[in-house]
Amino acid sequence: MTAADATSEDLDLAAQLVRDAGRLAASMLAEGLETHHKTSISDVVSDADHAAEKLISERLIEQRPDDGLVGEEGARRPGERTWYIDPVDGTYNFLSKIGIWCSAVGLTDPDGLVLGAVYHPVADELWVGGRGHRTTCNGVEVDELADAPLAELSIGSYLPPARLKADTIGGLAPLLNAISGAATVRVIGSGSIELASVAGGRIGASLHVGTLPWDWIPGAALVEAAGGVGRVVEQGGHSWYVAGNAQAVDEITAAIQES
Q: List phi, psi (to 5°) of 168.
A: -125, -10
**125 assigned ligand-binding residue:** no
> Would you say 46 and 31 are in contact if contact means Cβ atoms under 8 Å apart?
no
**Which residue(s) pair with 86 in the sheet?**
104
Q: Where are the domains of the chain?
A: 8-141, 150-258
**Which residue(s) pair with 35 in the sheet?**
46
Q: What is the DSSP string of 108-127?
A: EETTEEEEEEEEETTTTEEE
Give the β-pairing of 205-209 and 154-156: parallel
Position 164 scores a pLDDT of: 76
> Would you say 218 and 105 are in contact if contact means Cβ atoms under 8 Å apart?
yes
> Would you say 117 and 3 are in contact if contact means Cβ atoms under 8 Å apart?
no
Q: pLDDT truncated to tens, each residue of the chain (259 aa)?
A: 689 999 999 999 999 999 999 999 999 999 887 666 555 545 556 888 999 999 999 999 999 999 999 999 898 999 999 999 999 999 889 989 999 999 999 999 999 999 999 999 999 999 999 999 999 999 999 999 999 999 999 999 998 787 777 566 667 889 999 999 999 999 999 999 999 999 999 999 999 999 999 999 999 999 999 999 999 999 988 999 999 999 999 999 999 999 7
Give the β-pairing of 43-46 and 35-40: antiparallel
The CATH code of the domain at 150-258 is: 3.40.190.80
Reduced to 3 states, what is the DSSP secondary structure of residue 203? coil
**49 assigned ligand-binding residue:** no
Count each helix (H run) and each strand (E run) in the chain, helices first: 7, 15
What fold, for 8-141? Fructose-1,6-Bisphosphatase; Chain A, domain 1 (3.30.540)
Position 41 scores a pLDDT of: 46
**111 assigned ligand-binding residue:** no
Position 38 scores a pLDDT of: 52
Distance CA(20)–CA(126), nearest Å, equals: 11
Reduced to 3 states, what is the DSSP secondary structure of residue 173? helix
Position 170 scores a pLDDT of: 65
**31 assigned ligand-binding residue:** no
> Would you say 157 and 185 are in contact if contact means Cβ atoms under 8 Å apart?
yes
Position 46 scores a pLDDT of: 84
